[in-house]
Amino acid sequence: MEEVKSIGKIREEFQAAAEERLPDFIVTYEKDGRAGVQKLITQARNRLNKLEAERQRIWKLGSYEREYAKMGYVCGVDEAGRGPLAGPVVAGAVILPKDCDILYINDSKKLGEKKREELYAVILEQAVAVGIGMASPGRIDEVNILNATYEAMKEAIQKLSSAPDILLNDAVTIPGISIPQVPIIKGDAKSISIGAASIIAKVTRDRIMEQYHKEMPEYGFASNKGYGTKEHIQALKTYGASPIHRASFIQKFLNS
């Protein structure tokens, strides 16, 4: 007589199951009448339903890329760090493979840090090309944040190992570029390649700010990433400006 597997063992199988193994898990145990097993079957089906919904979301997120695929390499461009009081503005440029199906890509601000880090690694591994550009706090003060952002975006595009044939940009049209451009409002939530670029830019910038935190821990850069949190502003008033603060952004706090 075959030994009946305990619910605890079946739960371990479920928790360890990769998403592609869930259908087999359901077929194996769906006729087990025990309430605990049926609860696991329900959870497995819910996971599959969420996975299918995510696949559909990603398919929709690739609609701009499919629309412009006939032009050749489609490149998403986005930035991170226009608003902070300190640190560089960083731009990402990403060319994804056609019909890219990397799940969970989204506007980087809608993702947790762990998920951004995971996707950063996947994007670097699977992308046709990735470019990163940045403009320093001093450059931001010199030419203003918008022009500094354009410069960072141009640098990111120039650093691509494959030349793009069309740019999908988050909201902006970059001056001085001959490549056709499509500005998309809230593009990081509407285009898979812009979303990928936003993740590359965000993770890169966050890592830079975490490194600055080691050098200047009093400002809390590891947690605030240079943004004007209450604690950051208080530190600014207490310690004054650091070498990476944007002078054009902080005068109102130093003078108040």
Q: Average of pLDDT values for 70-92?
A: 98
**Does residue 84 have a pLDDT over 90?**
yes
Ordered by start, the domain boundaries in the chain are 7-61, 63-211, 213-255
Structure confidence at residue 2 (pLDDT): 57
Helices (H), 18-143: 22-29, 35-61, 63-68, 113-126, 137-143
Mean pLDDT of the chain: 95
Q: Average of pLDDT values for 49-75?
A: 96
Could you report the per-residue pLDDT of 237-249, keeping only the tens digit for each?
Answer: 999 999 999 999 9
Topology (CATH) of 63-211: Nucleotidyltransferase; domain 5 (3.30.420)
- Closest C-alpha among 82, 107, 92 to residue 153: 92
Structure confidence at residue 256 (pLDDT): 64
* 3-class secondary structure, 41: helix
155 CB neighbour count, 10 Å cutoff? 17
Could you report the per-residue pLDDT of 194-211, keeping only the tens digit for each?
Answer: 999 999 999 999 999 999
* Angle between helices 35-61 and 7-16 in degrees, nearest 10: 10
Could you report the per-residue pLDDT of 216-226, keeping only the tens digit for each?
Answer: 999 999 999 99
How far is it, in rounded angstroms, from Cα 212 to Cα 201?
17
Instruction: Put the strands of the sheet holding 181-184 in their side by side order.
Output: 129-135, 89-95, 74-80, 166-170, 181-184
Could you report the per-residue pLDDT of 143-157, keeping only the tens digit for each?
Answer: 999 999 999 999 999
Helical (H) or strand (E) element with 193? helix 192-215
CA 109 to centroid of chain Cα atoms: 7
* 3-class secondary structure, 183: strand
